[in-house]
Amino acid sequence: MSELYLFATIGGERVAFRTTEIEAVVKLRELTPVPGAPRYVAGLSALRSRVLTIINAAEIISARFSCDAGRSCPDCVRQGLVCHAIVCEISGHSYGLLVNGLEDIRMVDSPPMPVCGRLDPAWQPHVRGVIENEGQSYFILSVATFLGGGFAQAA
């Protein structure tokens, strides 16, 4: 059973998303800050006539893994540092999940494997399994649970 995965990094960890969950990947050019919202809400961004609520994935996992640019996401984006967001729609709202690095989109033939070893408790609730690509293993994350269930835990 081969499946198409998107490989990226979040807070320095290698992760993979099933492409069936993903609508698009966009390069962010501008972010409107949302004062008062939880830290993991990086801002708003326009994708054509849609408004995406951009979620900083690393921040959801834990503030410790946050991107080390040392600036707020809107500032960072304004300075032209490339950031990518994975676009998806959950219960009528459009989100963009901010990932720190975007590596590849590739078909993987082997099925996902269970997680081995003791995980950092911050990652524990999010990881769906492990998949191998070119000799390296990646966490499998689900965008939906990340954005759906992730809020409750992070908030």
Place of tokens 């809400």: 41
Q: Alpha helix locations (H) across the chain?
A: 57-61, 73-78, 143-148, 150-154
Least distance in angstroms from the C-beta of 51 to another protein: 4
* 92 vs 114, beta carbon nearer another protein: 92
**Amino acid letter, 153:** Q
Is 95 near another protein (CB under 8 A)?
Answer: yes
* 3 vs 89, beta carbon nearer another protein: 89
Q: CB–CB of 65/95 below 8 Å?
A: no
| Size of residue set near another protein by CB under 8 A | 24
Q: CA-CA distance, 153 to 155, in Å (whole number)?
A: 6
Is 114 near another protein (CB under 8 A)?
Answer: no
Is 125 near another protein (CB under 8 A)?
Answer: no
* 10 vs 154, beta carbon nearer another protein: 154
Applying CB under 8 A, the span of 25-33, 105-113, 117-125, 135-143 interacting with another protein comes to 25-33
What is the DSSP code string of 10-68?
A: ETTEEEEEEGGG--EEEE----B--TTS-TTEEEEEEETTEEEEEEEHHHHH-GGGS-T
Is 92 near another protein (CB under 8 A)?
Answer: yes
Candidate residues 4, 24, 27, 37; the one interacting with another protein per rule CB under 8 A: 37
Least distance in angstroms from the C-beta of 71 to another protein: 15
Q: CA-CA distance, 64 to 5, in Å (whole number)?
A: 26
| Interacting residue ranges for another protein, rule: CB under 8 A | 30, 32-38, 40-41, 44-46, 48-51, 53, 55, 92-93, 95, 151, 155
